[in-house]
Amino acid sequence: MMPRNSSTGPGNGYIEWKHVHKGFGGRPVLRDMSLAVNKGEVMFIIGTSGVGKSVTIKHLIGLLRIDAGEIWFDGQRIDTLPESKLSPIRRRIGMVFQSSTLFDSMTLAENVALPLRKHGKLRHAAALEDARRRLAQVYMAEYADRYPAELSDGMRKRAAIARTLALDPEVVLFDEPTTGLDPVSARRIDRLIRELAEKLGVTAVVVSHDPPSIFGIADRVALLYDGIVHVVATPAELRASQDPIVQQFIGGKSSGPMLTPGF
């Protein structure tokens, strides 16, 4: 069994889940799950389907509420905040959903300008100008006047990232960002996530099933198994691990019962 790194446990992270429990319809999904994410790092959360990866990150912005435990962000406990006080948190933590969730009736610039007008209180012209700058950050400036239906899935995903960046979040949550993309588009998204951390100092928490992403850009990886964080490790440590559960996820063999493949 590969031991957990004690330096990554609850109590010393920028983002922390502490002994979190969450269930649906009487079925437990997370049970005493704890994880700490450091400021500025790219943390991947992996595990089999239904193990609670997306559930875990949705708690950070109040889309779901935990049943028990604590969630902390930048020294503040946030799981107990009422809805009225979550808005400042949501401005600091952006989320890119698995589907791009762009409005088809708007150009890319108009899509990105939307949060700038609604939350940034910018006038239409100023919001569009800033939106074009955000699109340039994700290498989509030349497509600012195109509509989502005119573009590939990967390009729409980059535009969705630009919209998330519009309010300068400190943290971006990515839910399966490369799912459904061709390999070239997927690697572009990977490079973009890495650039956000290295150039803008954004903390990224990425839910993924994509091995090239996990082993290519992650600083650390948290493996969810049976409702808890089974291990937190660097990609290199995962590859070297003899833990049978880890091995089943990275293509190794185990004498135990096989799991549903996580990748």
Average pLDDT, the chain: 88
Mean pLDDT of 49-74: 95
The fourth-level CATH superfamily of domain 7-249 is: P-loop containing nucleotide triphosphate hydrolases (3.40.50.300)
Mean pLDDT of 45-52: 92
Residue with tokens 């293509």, as numbered in its chain? 251
Residue 123: the pLDDT is: 87
Q: What is the pLDDT of residues 166-215, one digit of tens each?
A: 989 999 999 999 998 999 999 999 999 999 999 999 999 999 989 999 99
Domain regions of the chain by residue span: 7-249
> What is the reported pTM?
0.87
Report residue 120's pLDDT band, with 50, 70 and 90 as the boundaries: low
Any idea which of 72-76, 102-106, 112-116, 251-255 has the lowest mean pLDDT?
Answer: 251-255
Residue 111: the pLDDT is: 95
> Which among 61, 15, 18 is positioned nearest to 175, based on CA atoms?
61
